[in-house]
Amino acid sequence: MRAALPACALAVAVSSCGVYDAVTDQPESGDISPVAAPQVSDSPETTVAEPEPLRGALRTPDVLVIGDKELGSGLRDKISAVRGVRVAEPLSVASVPVGERSVTVAAVDSGGYRRFTVKHTATSDPVWQAVAAGDAVLSHEIGRDLERPLGGNVGLRAGKHDVDMRVGAYATTVPRIDVVVNERRGEQLGMRQHNAMLLALDDARQDAASAALTRLLGDRGSVQELTTDPPPTSGTRQAAYLTGGAGSDSLGSFSYRYFPDGTVEPEASWVQANIVTETVPILGNVTCHRVMLPQLRAALRETVDSGLAGSINPADYGGCYVPRFIGRDPNQGLSLHTWGIAVDLNVSGNHRGTVGEIDRRVVEIFKKWGFAWGGDWEWTDPMHFELATIIR
């Protein structure tokens, strides 16, 4: 049986409190500061859907709660009732693969979500019209990093396949959220419905409310600042929750610390339970996620049996479990190597943006054993193979 890969997590994040002040200064061209004005595609596709109207006053997104499953109505009520919580908005949040990285996607009811965004975004009906139409709204930073033009497509991966969405706008929404989509798109991506809540806190009760939320969630969550100016160079960030379909407990989930050099330290209990070192054909000892190793071993064994062992150079192996951000930059999202579910083979001859020298017969063997190949991506990465489907 094949199951597309996700994982799950629970985290709480806390930031400064209050209501946003009006923004009067227009940003310079190319500025991607928190007050950068939205940019919206002028394609007629975004004109066919009515945007959800803004509901209520603008609020600072002080707390983000992310659950390992849907937050039931009882728990949502308890969270909303914590003294100091002023406004609560349910949504769905997950890390979703794009290329070799993951981006944090929020699937939202935009009428409630938009009130947590900066004024330029909250009051821009065209942004939310794009969301209603099924487009993806990218943060300015992630749009730059992914090099996706307005009106172009971005492929958000759900298991072995991409869900292609039009880039309807660049806009600043909520800190740590890279991409905003509507709830229907969230279902297509295999996201857990309403596994998260955005909260606005009373300024005077911020500390007490944070402590109460921590007690309420127990060991299922952590508390972290969402907005810090300037951003910290190290610390605890939003928990890693990888989505993609059925088999939600296959990879597990983790919160993590990160450091100025761009490396990441997942929580020790997750590493101990999931990351193992074993011997596989051709490569010898490898350190990967335990779920991936049987399929990696099978793919390499078939490579040997097919007389293709010489097509993989063990001295040119780029690793599997390498916890870090893409480009060692926290703004670019976690590398999928942080989960230990990807391997880089024959690195020197298979650089990003090339067709690569990897033997296509080896590629087909890896695909047979449930791996996606980076050579199929729009911006190719032919050294990269990642587990996309669990074969039971």
Three-state SS sequence of the chain = CEEECCCCCCEEEECCCCCCCCCCCCCCCCCCCCCCCCEECCCHHHHCCCCCCCCCCCCCCCEEEECCCCCCHHHHHHHHHCCCEEEEEEEEEEEEEECCEEEEEEEECHHHHHHHCCHHHHCCHHHHHHHHCCCEEECHHHHHHHCCCCCCEEEEEECCEEEEEEEEEECCCCCCCCEEEEHHHHHHCCCCCCCEEEEEECHHHHHHHHHHHHHHHHHHCCCCCCCCCCCCCCEEEEEECECCCCCCCCCCCEEEEECCCCEEEECHHHHHHHEEEEEECCCEEEEEECCCHHHHHHHHHHHHHCCCHHHCCHHHCCCCCCCEEHHHCHHHCEEHHHHCCEEECCHHHCCCCCCCCCCHHHHHHHHHCCEEEHHHCCCCCCCEEEECEEEC
Distance CA 20, CA 23 (A): 8
pLDDT at position 11 is: 37
Note whether 244 and 278 are same-domain residues. no
- 219, 284: one domain: no
Distance CA 129, CA 182 (A): 10
Please tell me the predicted confidence (pLDDT) of residue 149. Answer: 87
- Same domain for 102 and 210? yes
Residue 285, number of CB atoms within 10 A of its CB: 8
Tally the domains of the chain. 2
Q: What is the CATH number of the domain that holds 314?
A: 3.30.1380
| Residue that terminates a domain, selected from 228, 258, 288 | 258
Same domain, 72 and 208: yes
Identify the domain containing residue 299 by its residue range: 265-391
Angle of helix 73-81 relative to helix 206-217, nearest 10 degrees, comes to 150
Choose one of 225, 258, 291: the last residue of a domain.
Answer: 258
Domain co-membership, 289 together with 154: no
Looking at the structure, tell me whether residues 139 and 183 fall in a common domain: yes
Same domain, 314 and 211: no
Pairing state between β 371-373 and 384-387: antiparallel
pTM of the model: 0.75
What pLDDT, on the 0 to 100 scale, is given for residue 68?
Answer: 67
CB atoms within 10 A of CB 387: 28
105 and 130, same domain (yes or no): yes
Same domain for 139 and 49, yes or no, is: yes
- The torsion of the CA quartet 324, 33, 41, 54, rounded to 10 degrees, works out to 100
Q: Are residues 291 and 245 in the same domain?
A: no
The residue ranges of the chain whose pLDDT is under 50 are 1-34, 46, 229-231, 237, 245-248
Euclidean distance between CA atoms 291 and 370, whole angstroms: 12
Assess whether 117 and 247 both reside in one domain. Answer: yes
Q: What is the pLDDT of residues 111-135, one digit of tens each?
A: 999 999 999 899 999 999 999 999 9
Kindly state whether residues 177 and 204 are assigned to the same domain: yes
- Residue 253: the pLDDT is 72
Q: Which of 232, 258, 284 is the last residue of a domain?
A: 258
